[in-house]
Structures are given as structure tokens and as C-alpha cells.
Structure 1
Amino acid sequence: MKYCAFLRGVNVKGTNMKMADVCQVFSGAGMENVSSVLASGNIVFTSDKNAVALRAVLEKSMSDHFSYEAFLFVKSREETENLRNGNPFKKNDDLHVYAFIGNEGIEEILMKEFNDASKAKHEEAAIINHIFYWQVPKGSTLDSSFGKILGRKDLKDRVTTRNINTFDKILKKMA
């Protein structure tokens, strides 16, 4: 089965790694047809194991090799398509849209945080099929009240984000 592993916290805040090295770790852990998409920790591969088993194996392999506490989320091609296709927001060149990949139930926690945060003009959020989507004006992602929440330590092993456009690149690689 084809999967994408979405790594959290790669190439930010001192956790720097080359995607070629990450791909070698995945191959060493038994994954096949391994390749990366962008430098932000999106690894496409095939395996006959299920996503739960893969997550445990890959987090341990990454942690051991890079000497950091690795967090990642493994999604099948179908789940990755659902992440892309569930986007409720219309394309607007002035706005970024992010999909959140995380543990079960994280979307409700994120929506509560979003509802409690101050918002910029055109900043919106929605939950579609248990996936949290966030639209924010370009240039405001890290400065927004909600954006600052995303760096909290209590969320680090529970969620990661990707710009909606990243899914097009990942799905092309998975084809």
C-alpha cells in the first residue's frame, strides 16, 4: 500500500535533517519506493504494514538515527486524497489554507482554540470529515493569534500542518 508520512517539526527550531538521510532511515526500516516531497518532512513510500505499526517503527527509527523525539503521522493515499479534497475554502491568492493531520479528536481541540483566538480579516476554520482546515491571510500565519497556539508543547505530538498545495505535490508523487 502507498503511504505518506508527515513528519512534525522537521527543519524548524534546530531540528535539521536532509531528506535524503530521512529516506535512507525509512528504507533501513523496511519501507520500499521511498522518496521525499519538499524539505518539510513528507515521505512517500510503500509497505504491507498498517499505519499504526508503521508509525511506531518509523518514529523509533527516526528518533534513534537523528537523536531527537520524532513525531509523525502515516496516511494512506486515500486518506491523503481526503485531506486535499476536503478543503472547504475557495482558492484565493491572498490566503493560505492549511489542513491539520493529527490524532483522533484533535480537530475539536483546535476548533475550540480557534474560536477563543482573535482573528484577522478572512481568517476562518472548518472541520470537514474530522479534519481541521484553517484559512489565514498570507503573511499572517505565524503572527496570528491561532498560529501562535500551534507551537505549544502540549500539541507537538498530536498534530502537524501542511499547506493545502503541498497535498497536490504529494499525491502526484503517490500516483
Structure 2
Amino acid sequence: MKYCAFLRGVNVKGTNMKMADVCQVFKEAGMQDVSSVLASGNIVFSSDKKAEDLKKILEKAMSDHFSYEAFLFVKTQKETEAFWNSNPFEKNDDFHTYAFVGSMEVENVLMKEFDAASKVDHEKGEITNNIFYWQVPKGNTLDSSFGKILGKKSLKDQLTSRNINTFEKILKKMN
């Protein structure tokens, strides 16, 4: 089965790694057809194992190899397609749209955080098919009150985010 692993916290705040090294760790952990998409920690691979088993195996392999506490989320090709296909927002070159990959029910945590956050003009958050999507005007991602929750230590093992365009690139690599 084809999967994508979405790594959290790669190449930010001092956790720097080359994707070729990450791919090698995945291969040594028994994954096949391993390749990376962008330098933000998206690894496409094949395995006969279940996603929940792969998460444990790969987090341990990454933690051991890179000497950091690894967090990643493993999604099947079908689940990865849902992130692209369920986007509720129209494409607009003035906005960034992000989808959040995470643990079960994390979309509800995110919606609660989004509702409580102050917003910039035209900033939106929406849950579609159990996926939280966030649209924010370009240039406001890091300044947004909601954008700051991505760095919350209490959420580091629960989610990661990707620009919606990343999912398109991942799906091209999977196909």
C-alpha cells in the first residue's frame, strides 16, 4: 500500500535534516519505494504494514537516527487524496490555504482554537470531512493569532500543517 508520512518540526527551530538522509532511515526501517516531496518532511513510500504500526516504527527510527523526539503522521494514498479533494476554499492567489494532518479529533481542537483567536480580515477556518482547513491572506500566516498555535508545545504530538499545494505535489509523486 502507498503511504505518505508527514513529519512535524522538520527544518525548523534547529531540527535540520537532509531529505536524502530521512529517506535512507525509512529504507533501513523496511519501507519500499521511498522518496521525498519538498524539504518540509513529506515522505512517500510503500509498505504492507498498517498505518498505526508504521507510525511507531518510523518515529522510533527517526528519533534514534537524528537524536530528537520525532513526530509524524502516516496517511494512505486515499486519505492523502482527501486532503486535496475536500478543500472547501476557492483558489485565490492572495491567500494561503493550509490543511492540518493529525491525530483523531484534532480538527475539533483546531476549530475551538480558531474560534477563540483574533482574526485578520478574510481569515477563515473550516472543517470538511474531518479535516481542518485554514485560509489566511498572504503575509499574515505568522502574524495571525491562530498561526501562533502551531508552535504550541501542547499540540506538537497532535498535528502538523501543509500548504494545500503540497498535497497536489505529494499526490503526483504517489501516482
* Displacement over 4 Å in runs of 4+: none
Give the C-alpha shift of residue 149 in structure 1. Answer: 1.3
AA paired with 1:114? F
Alpha-carbon distance between aligned partners in 2 of 1:46 and 1:119, rounded to the nearest angstrom: 40
Alpha-carbon distance between aligned partners in 1 of 2:87 and 2:161, rounded to the nearest angstrom: 13
Alpha-carbon distance between aligned partners in 1 of 2:168 and 2:109, rounded to the nearest angstrom: 27
Counterpart in the other structure of 1:116: 116
Counterpart in the other structure of 2:146: 146
Q: 5 Å matches for 1:31-110? A: 31-110=31-110
Alpha-carbon distance between aligned partners in 1 of 2:31 and 2:143, rounded to the nearest angstrom: 38
Alpha-carbon distance between aligned partners in 2 of 1:117 and 1:71, rounded to the nearest angstrom: 25
Give the C-alpha shift of residue 122 in structure 1. Answer: 1.0
AA paired with 1:110? L
How many matched pairs?
175
CA RMSD of aligned residues (A): 0.4
Counterpart in the other structure of 1:25: 25
User: SS of the residue aligned with 1:12?
Assistant: coil
User: SS of the residue aligned with 2:97?
Assistant: strand
AA paired with 1:24? Q
Give the C-alpha shift of residue 95 in structure 1. Answer: 0.1
User: SS of the residue aligned with 2:151?
Assistant: coil
**TM-score, scaled relative to structure 2:** 0.99
Unmatched segments (≥5 aa) in structure 2: none
**TM-score, scaled relative to structure 1:** 0.99
Counterpart in the other structure of 1:132: 132
